[in-house]
Amino acid sequence: MTITMDRLGRVVLPRGVRSHFGLQGGTTLKLEILPTAIRLEPEIEQPSLVKEDDGIYVHSGKPIGNLEKAVEETRSQRDASFWKA
């Protein structure tokens, strides 16, 4: 397959290639420069919960926001709904 670079240095990946790899506008690609080639590879996000051998799920990603605050707010909401019943 041959594709052509435009005068600004851009290339368009054919629809079949984008579909095959599940690429959409805004998808991040990793660019690797090799001695005789250029390699593009989609940066695939790994799930943040991973099931360990013992069956327990472990968070392996980076926390988003203040985890302690989120837990406290969730507990407060749960407690408030419990006492309303």
For the stretch 1-22, pLDDT in tens is: 899 999 999 999 999 999 888 8
Chain-centroid distance, C-alpha 75? 29
CA pair distance 57, 68, nearest whole angstrom: 19
Which pLDDT does position 7 carry in this prediction? Answer: 96
pTM: 0.49
In the chain, where does the domain assigned CATH 2.10.260.10 lie? Answer: 1-44
48: closest CA among 61, 39, 65, 38? 61
Contact present, 73 and 66 (Cβ < 8 Å) = no
CA pair distance 68, 16, nearest whole angstrom: 45
Architecture of domain 1-44: Ribbon (2.10)
Q: Give the H or E element holding residue 41.
A: strand 37-42
Tell me the mean pLDDT in the region 61-78. Answer: 80
